[in-house]
């Protein structure tokens, strides 16, 4: 059974750093492209970052230079390192698995809440 | 950057009725790059349609996607109580950027 489980969220002060994890089971993270998407309280979905099977990575302009996506194939886990956090980074963060040959995401984690506040 | 505009913002219908949700792109997009999701409160999004018209595994056939170019539609032929939720369209462009529409809330009338 395919599963994605996010962890690492919490309350952090502005300017702080946090690392989110996305543990996968039922498939190999190296074999699929995977994204991070966030959702601010009461808001819509916002794409954050993507990592492809070849290791290439891309970021939304709002997080470029502050966030880094990576994966550990041996642990079958994806990460999102978030630095210089701001209040507007407050959101539930989801990881999701891409569908081969399509720009769509078929399995999602349950999300982890990041709150940036002093 | 391609923007996606969903309409209406809120759709009020009764169970058994037909729902038609629209997603308009600011430029022509590839159908392979257009998807639809459903999200219920407190839950992660659920993939409904990918490639503009392909139903996700296990999705009831009352859901259908269509469209091309700049105009895409998600149709729910006969609403069931569990279909009332927020629906998002999503696109990918050649700049490796993923974009979501702002969502349509489907509520019970």
Q: What is the pLDDT, as a whole number, of residue A40?
A: 98
pLDDT tens column, B67-107: 999 999 999 999 999 999 999 999 998 788 999 999 999 99
For A14-38, what is the mean pLDDT? Answer: 98
Q: With beta carbons less than 8 A apart as the criterion, state whether B34 and B91 touch.
A: yes
- Select from B45, B47, B51 the Cβ nearest to the Cβ of A45: B45
Residue B60 contacts A, CB cutoff 8 Å = no
Q: What is the pLDDT, as a whole number, of residue B49?
A: 98
> B67: part of which helix (H) or strand (E)?
strand B63-76
pLDDT tens column, A40-56: 999 999 999 999 999 99
B98 and A102: CB-CB below 8 Å? Answer: no
B23 CB-contact burial (10 Å; exposed 0-12 / middle 13-18 / buried 19+)? buried
Residue B29 contacts A, CB cutoff 8 Å = no
Q: What is the pLDDT, as a whole number, of residue A65?
A: 98
Tokens standing for B49?
Answer: 């349609």
**Residue A99 to residues A103, A104, B36, B72: CA-CA distances in angstroms?**
7, 6, 13, 20
- Nearest-Cα distance to chain B for A96, in Å, is 9
- Given a cut of 90, whether residue A70 has pLDDT beyond it is yes
Contacts A103 to B, Cβ<8 Å: 32-35, 50, 90-92, 98
Q: What is the pLDDT, as a whole number, of residue A66?
A: 98
B32 and A45: CB-CB below 8 Å? Answer: no
Top residue of B44, B51, B59, B104 to mutate, by most chain A CBs within 10 Å, is B44
Q: What is the pLDDT, as a whole number, of residue B7?
A: 97
- Nearest-Cα distance to chain B for A49, in Å, is 9
Query: What dihedral angle (degrees, nearest 10) is formed by the CA atoms of A29, B1, B8, A37?
Result: 20
Can you say how many angstroms the Cα of residue B80 is from the centroid of all Cα atoms in its chain?
16
Q: What is the pLDDT, as a whole number, of residue A62?
A: 97
Top residue of A59, A98, A104 to mutate, by most chain B CBs within 10 Å, is A104
Q: What is the pLDDT, as a whole number, of residue A15?
A: 98
Q: What is the CA radius of gyration of chain A?
A: 13
Mean pLDDT of chain A: 97
A99 and B96: CB-CB below 8 Å? Answer: no
pLDDT tens column, B16-29: 999 999 999 999 99
Give the pLDDT band (50/70/90) at residue A106.
very high
Top residue of B47, B88, B93 to mutate, by most chain A CBs within 10 Å, is B47
C-alpha angle with apex A40: A81 to B105, nearest 5 degrees?
140
Q: What is the pLDDT, as a whole number, of residue B94?
A: 79
Residue A47 contacts B, CB cutoff 8 Å = yes
| Closest to A86 measured CA to CA, from A48, A118, A39, A53 | A118
């Amino acid at each position: 059974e395919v599963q994605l489980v996010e962890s690492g969220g919490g309350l952090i002060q502005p300017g702080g750093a946090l690392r989110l994890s996305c543990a996968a089971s039922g498939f190999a993270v190296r074999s699929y492209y995977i994204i991070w998407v966030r959702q601010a309280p009461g808001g819509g979905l916002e794409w954050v970052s993507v990592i492809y099977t070849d290791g290439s990575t891309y970021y939304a302009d709002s997080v470029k230079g502050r966030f880094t996506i990576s994966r550990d194939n041996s642990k079958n886990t994806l990460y999102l390192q978030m630095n210089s956090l701001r209040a507007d980074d407050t959101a539930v963060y989801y990881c999701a698995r891409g569908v081969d040959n399509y720009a769509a995401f078929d399995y999602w984690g349950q999300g982890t809440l990041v709150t940036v506040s002093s | 950057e391609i923007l996606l505009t969903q309409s209406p913002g809120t759709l009020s219908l009764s169970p058994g009725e037909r729902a038609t949700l629209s997603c308009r792109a600011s430029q022509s997009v590839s159908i392979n790059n257009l998807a639809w999701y459903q999200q219920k409160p407190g839950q992660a999004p659920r993939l409904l349609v990918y490639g503009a018209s392909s139903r996700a595994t296990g999705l009831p056939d009352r859901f259908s996607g269509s469209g091309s170019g700049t105009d895409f539609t998600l149709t729910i032929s006969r609403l069931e109580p569990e279909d009332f939720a927020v629906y998002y369209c999503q696109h990918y462009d050649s700049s490796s950027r993923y974009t979501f529409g702002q969502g349509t809330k489907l509520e019970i009338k």
